[in-house]
Amino acid sequence: MTVKVAVVGASGYAGCELFRLLAGHPKVKLIGAYDIRNAGKPVSEVHPNLRGIVDLKITEPDYAGMGRRADVILAATPHKVAMKFVPKLLGEKAKIIDLSADYRFDDVKVYESYYVKHESPEVKGVFGLPELYRAKIRRARLVANPGCFPTAAILSLAPLVKRRLIDLDHIVIDAKTGTSGAGAAPSEVTHHPVAGANIRAYAATTHRHSPEIDQELSKLAGRKVKAHFTPHLIPIVRGILSTAHVFLRKPMTQKALLRIYREFYAREPFVRVLEELPQVNFVVGSNYCDIGLEPDPQSNRLVVVAAIDNLIKGASGQAIQNMNLMLGFDELEGLEALALRP
């Protein structure tokens, strides 16, 4: 059985990564690569790593009938684009996975306070974190693929929050990301001479992924949670290391905590709970989220570290994982690559 997949947003890094992963997926036929930018060029001219493999031409998106021609539509467009075309497609055959923020929020007002006015607030997606919402994802017609930082942060804290083991008022999440998270558009911030031997915090208290983390931790906790999130830009290309500093309500050993994490993620194919703290190059190139933790021997602080590839588990890999679930495929299909280390 082969399904027909269309990718909207062919020029960006999430798009590139979708093509790369789909090319190795045994049950997929790529039928369309859409974008306004680069229309007319072959995918592999824009993304030369794909040369000889993904040579389909990019065309301007023609939404009329796209939902009939395709079984799955993967939208890797910037926020505010999907909200325009998704409503048109929802009545048709295709299942949709949107990698932007447009359908991630339960409360459209939260979206609007961080992004823009929503144009299809009535449409609801399933938050595409399989570790929390697998059953719903299987039945979904529209999945809202999570942001990269939220993926790492939520997975690193879900077992603790769910069980109310920590002080919910003092959750600090200090994340470090490679530069590919900034996308394919050059800017001063990611100009190599500026970024190449530098570290900076950015959007230190106002990052758009913050409300996404809060939404999911709040649902896990059963009460409103405001996590304290700050991302940093690091001179690597791929990878996120998310370090959570939390405070245990009562003392627990590393062993006991690992047991809880292992139970929580016992059936998860893409979460590895480690006895050491993970490093970015345990996972870059793979769909894994590696998690480790260390309680402070001198206080009630607990450090929980999660590592992901921001473009795979943090974006396109997770989208494929969601696609596999929505189509009833083996969840690992096309996602078995291991990290490149060194």
Distance of CA 124 to the CA centre of its chain: 18
Nearer to a copy of itself, 20 or 104 (CB): 20
CA distance 299 to 245: 12
Q: Could you give the CA distance from residue 54 to residue 22 in angstroms, rounded to a whole number?
A: 10
Beta bridge partners of 73: 6, 96
* Interface pick for a copy of itself out of 178, 314, 317, 334 (rule CB under 8 A): 178
Does position 277 bind a copy of itself by CB under 8 A? Answer: yes
Please report, as residue ranges, which positions from 255 to 274 form the binding site for a copy of itself (by CB under 8 A): 272, 274
- Determine if 285 is a binding residue for a copy of itself (CB under 8 A): yes
For the CB of residue 269, give the shortest distance to a copy of itself in the complex, in Å.
Answer: 9
**Token pair of 276, please?**
């050491």
Nearest approach in angstroms of CB 266 to a copy of itself is: 13
- State how far the Cα of 137 lies from the Cα of 154, in Å rounded to an integer: 17
Tell whether residue 186 is a contact of a copy of itself (CB under 8 A): yes
The helix (run of H) or strand (run of E) holding residue 323 is helix 317-327
> Of 32-40, 93-101, 118-126, 223-231, which segment contacts a copy of itself by CB under 8 A?
223-231
Subset of residues 297 to 326 that bind a copy of itself, contact rule: CB under 8 A: 297-299, 301, 303, 305, 307, 311
Interface stretch with a copy of itself, choices 94-102, 132-140, 141-149, 189-197 (CB under 8 A): 189-197
Binders in 79-108 for a copy of itself, by CB under 8 A = none
- Asked if 307 and 283 count as a contact pair (C-beta separation under 8 A), the reply is yes
Q: Does the active-site annotation cover 16?
A: no
Nearer to a copy of itself, 47 or 313 (CB): 47
Does residue 150 have a cis bond before it (omega within 30 degrees)?
A: no
Check binding of 195 to a copy of itself (CB under 8 A): yes
Strand order in the sheet with 200-201: 200-201, 228-233, 172-177, 240-247, 301-308, 289-295, 271-273
Nearest approach in angstroms of CB 190 to a copy of itself is 5
Residue 128 tokens, joined = 């595409």
Q: How far apart are CA 171 and CA 132, in angstroms?
A: 20
Crossing angle of helices 13-23/317-327, nearest 10°? 50
- Decide: is 204 part of the binding site for a copy of itself (CB under 8 A): yes
Q: Binding residues for a copy of itself, how many (CB under 8 A)?
A: 86
- Give yes or no for residue 180 binding a copy of itself (CB under 8 A): yes
Q: Is 284 near a copy of itself (CB under 8 A)?
A: yes
Q: What residue has token string 């911030």? A: 189
